[in-house]
A and B are shown apart, each in its own frame.
Chain A
Amino acid sequence: MDISMAVGLMLGLLGLGAGIAMIAGIGPGIGEGNAVAKAVEAIGRQPESKGDVTSTLIMGCAIAETTGLYALIVAILLIFVAPGSFVGLLKDTVKELK
């Protein structure tokens, strides 16, 4: 197989992998939506507790975001870091085979 084709295939698969990893973004989206909905309800019921609710909400949202951030890290690593090492590895193996 041609080396350029193999590299192209690998880069394409890495891109696909990054895209699939970002499916995890659904989770924090739903979770934060729920949290904000409940916070709005709470503020509507007790407007005087707005400060406390808001600070707790922001804190909780940032923690709920974590799983999404993990996926984002995986995607970033797949797009920006993995190609360098994998393509180098592929070229080395092709050289050894020759």
Chain B
Amino acid sequence: MTDDHAPDVKSTRFRMIDYGCIAMMILPLVACMILKVLFTPASEGVHITGAMIYFEIPAPMMPIIISESQVNSWAVMISILGLCLYLTHGLTEKAVCKRQLAAEWIVEKCRKLVHDNMGDYFSAWSPFIAAIMGLSAFSSLSCLLGLYAPTSDVNITVGWAILVFFLIMYYKFRGGLWNYFVGLFKPIPFFAPINLIGEIATPVSMAFRHYGNVLSGAVISALIGPALGGLSKLVLGWLPGVLGEIPFLRIGIPAALSIYFDVFSGLMQAFIFAMLTMLNVSGAVPWDEWNARKEKRKARKTKLEKTAA
């Protein structure tokens, strides 16, 4: 850059754009919370249900359902976009803002992770891996705001897993379709159905692992509150009047459990989903066959050129 000068951090325009980015981060999530409050029916007690259905779009085969998890995941996406715009606003060659250092740290860490796990050939994949990891982590963390975490809906995680499955298949077909089908019968032909199931099991296990962990955390968090309320009633029930009604065990304990079930397992699963994506995709490339194919193609090309000349 030739006309690279430090942006005026104090100027009104810079600040307005900053506030816009921050609003982009917060407003979608707030809108989701309001939507949830508007659509939740008044009820008492514990209710563990799936994602609420906001509205249905009529379609010829069956209505397309727009559910809470879809809306929330789009809100999380917009919010992450806002975060990225905020972090990368006012980049300079020499870092002046703290946020630039944060952004550089994230990018460097992600590049290093992808390079270490996927090798040189895939080192351009860090944006995709970072996107999957960030979306998964923030989706799981959105349950801290009282939203229905998109990852506790099986449809969302299966969608990601299908995406990863297509990527794996693409790289497996690099060695040639015929080689792939022969590889299914590899040790002995009897193994073909088992190998086929193994191919499909990868995305299924990825999707169900993530979904199961987040969902079980949400269910346990939903059950533990009322259970502790009942327990404290049992302990303090003999006190007269209002004193016996205070659910003192509900103070703090659910929050401590939530650190494990919501925060830790959500972040853990995000990391594992990204890790498995990297390992599966980079392990899917049949290097020997691919190189052989490349050389064959090159040889054919030179042969054609020779015959043409």
Mark A residues whose CB is within 8 Å of B. Answer: 58-59, 62-63, 65-66, 69-70, 72-73, 76, 80-81
Contacts and interface: CB of A to CB of B under 8 A. Distances in A.
Nearest to A71: B212
Contacts of B215: 73, 76
Contact of A69 (B48, B213, B268, B275): B213
17 contacts: A58-B268, A59-B272, A59-B275, A62-B268, A62-B269, A63-B272, A65-B209, A65-B213, A66-B205, A66-B208, A69-B212, A69-B216, A72-B212, A72-B216, A73-B215, A76-B216, A76-B219
A63 B271 CA distance: 11
The residue among B212, B216, B268 with the most chain A CB atoms within 10 A of its own CB is B212
A73 B215 CA distance: 8
Interface of B: 48-50, 205, 208-209, 211-213, 215-216, 219, 268-269, 271-272, 275
Contacts of B216: 69, 72-73, 76
Contact of B212 (A58, A59, A70, A81): A70
A27 to B, nearest CB: 15
B53 to A, nearest CB: 15
A69 B272 contact: no
Given A59-B272, A65-B209, 4 more contacts: A62-B268, A66-B208, A66-B212, A76-B215
Given A72-B216, A76-B215, A80-B48, A62 B208 contact: no
A73 B209 CA distance: 10
Given A76-B219, A80-B48, A62 B272 contact: yes
B270 to A, nearest CB: 11
Contact of A73 (B48, B49, B212, B272): B212
The residue among A69, A70, A72, A76 with the most chain B CB atoms within 10 A of its own CB is A69
Nearest to B265: A62
